[in-house]
Amino acid sequence: MAKKKTTAKKKSAPKKKAAPKKKTAAKKKTTAGKSAKKTAAKKKIVKKKPVKKTTTRKATAKKSSKKTVSGKKTVSKKKAAESNAQLTTLVTGACGFAGGHMVDLLIEKGYNVIATDLESAPREFLNAKANFIPADITNTESLKKLFANKIDYVYHPAAIFDYEAPWELCERVNVFGMRNICDFSLDAGVKRFLLFSTVSVYGYPEADELPVVEDNAKRPGTNYERSKLMQEEVGLEYTEKGLPVSIVRPAPVYGPRNTYGMATILFLMAKFPILPFPVNIDNYMVGVHVRDVCNAAHFLADRKEAIGEAYNVIDNTRYTLREFAEFVCPLMGVRMMPIFIPRDLFFSLGNQLADISRSLSKITGSRPFIEKDMVYYLKAVYTFSNDKLRSLGYEFLYPDLLEGMRETIEWYKDNGYLDRYDLWKKSLFSKTR
């Protein structure tokens, strides 16, 4: 759960013997005039706007929670930017969801950023201040131009993220591509290499293994999951060779510009003016805002204790599916109609829809709109611990899932992502992510 912010304790006024136990009114005069002035001066603070209450629980995060996340005392932005301007970072998969946000964050902090992705990758959201150099991480010849000049940090989100992808593709990009970029980074003397992995490497944990911590057993089930675990193993191999690698394992990621994963759930819900929802499905929703994934990677970049280590990146909250639906439906103009349906029947229907979706995808040459793994993630009871990351001093920009979703849905609405045409165009017509 997100920690609730406590307000500063007020000094209570001197108790009167005959007075009942009530809160002292702020406007009552004190017995001593000077004392009253001092008390008033201490209480003269700037009031913050109260956090809006959600329809389910009190949201602990504010929409404007854009405080600097460093785990240390904040230095002046100008001074930090001047220092960062001397450093060059390389971001792979820069035209993708996480990669694009990583580029934005590094540019905000004043770094020189080299952004790379396939020549054919869409650059709709690529930051214009980045130096874009197209390359293919599976082609070592194309990587030479990326390291023609000194590189200080490498952020590596580039990967095939597709539960339906064949093993040959996952291995070529996620495993061999990782080895290629590590080879160049080691030779270039990179200060830190940040790998974007996933909590999917744990597979499906047992009930007695919850909450999942970083040293839990790894049971990857899909080609994608196996390739990501092997990707991590390559990173640790190169750490032993002298390349300082740190790994972030995000929970399902959401945020502006996302069109897959958790976004697909929102897009589906938005298509129903009245959404029948089984109120007895009490599984938990887990997630993390994309900005926190990027901030966590940047946070770990200069910490020696993070070398050769992996960190779960998941927010502080634990909402049930029902609480999640009750919050997001009104934001999308959807009326939720509570129904009762046996759990087994609900997930059986989900699996059947996933099978139909897979069959249609083979005919159309697109990806399945509803995937087996998405159904399973809704069915499974997942809880992950972020204690290891927070023990280093990291504070989440979006500690509350619902408040992060509020901002994300507003972005979707402003950019037409909840429209049927945009939904099918962005979510269906690409085979891989």
**8 Å CB contact between 165 and 142:** no
pLDDT confidence of 331, banded at 50, 70, 90? very high
Q: For position 280, what pLDDT does the model report? A: 81
DSSP 8-class letter at 83? H
pLDDT for 37 equals 43
- DSSP codes of every residue in 347-373: HHHHHHHHHHHHHHHHHHTS--SS-HH
**Percent with pLDDT over 70 in the chain:** 75
Q: Give the model confidence (pLDDT) of 108-117 as tens digits.
A: 999 999 999 9
pLDDT tens track for 171-194: 999 999 999 999 999 999 999 999
How many C-beta atoms lie closer than 10 Å to residue 407's C-beta? 19
Can you tell me the mean pLDDT for 199-213? 92
> How many CB atoms lie under 10 A from the CB of residue 202?
22
CA torsion, ordered 255, 175, 127, 198, to nearest 10 deg: 20
Q: What are the distances in angstroms from CA 176 to CA 28, 218, 386?
A: 73, 21, 29
Question: What per-residue confidence (pLDDT) applies to 4?
Answer: 39
Q: Is the pLDDT of residue 383 over 50?
A: yes
Question: Do residues 316 and 247 lie in contact, with contact meaning Cβ atoms separated by under 8 Å?
Answer: no
Decide if pLDDT at 400 tops 50: yes
How far is it, in rounded angstroms, from Cα 19 to Cα 159?
Answer: 68
**Residues 389-396, mean pLDDT to the nearest whole number:** 98
Q: For all residues of the chain together, what is the average pLDDT?
A: 82
Q: What is the mean pLDDT of residues 409-431?
A: 69
Rounded distance, CA 133 to CA 84, Å?
21
Domains of the chain: 159-426 (3.40.50.720)
Structure tokens of 394? 């990291």
Contact between 306 and 300 under an 8 Å Cβ cutoff? The reply is yes
Residue ranges in 154-276 assigned as alpha helix (H): 167-170, 177-188, 223-241, 262-270
pLDDT tens sequence across 243-295: 999 999 999 999 999 988 888 889 888 888 899 988 887 788 899 999 999 99
Q: What would the mean pLDDT of 17-32 be, rounded to a whole number? A: 41
What global pTM score does this model have? 0.79
Q: Are 315 and 399 in contact (CB under 8 A)?
A: yes
Query: Is the backbone peptide bond immediately before 20 cis, with ω within 30 degrees of 0?
Result: no
Assign 353 a pLDDT band (cuts: 50, 70, 90): confident
Average pLDDT over residues 65-77: 46
pLDDT surpasses 60 at 201:
yes
Whole-number pLDDT of residue 354? 82
pLDDT reading at 60 higher than 50: no
Q: How crowded is the C-beta side of 149, counted as CA atoms within 13 Å?
A: 10
**How far apart are the C-alpha atoms of 141 and 180, rounded to whole Å?**
10
Nearest to 253 by CA among 305, 300, 290: 290
Q: Could you tell me the two tokens for 307?
A: 């070398």
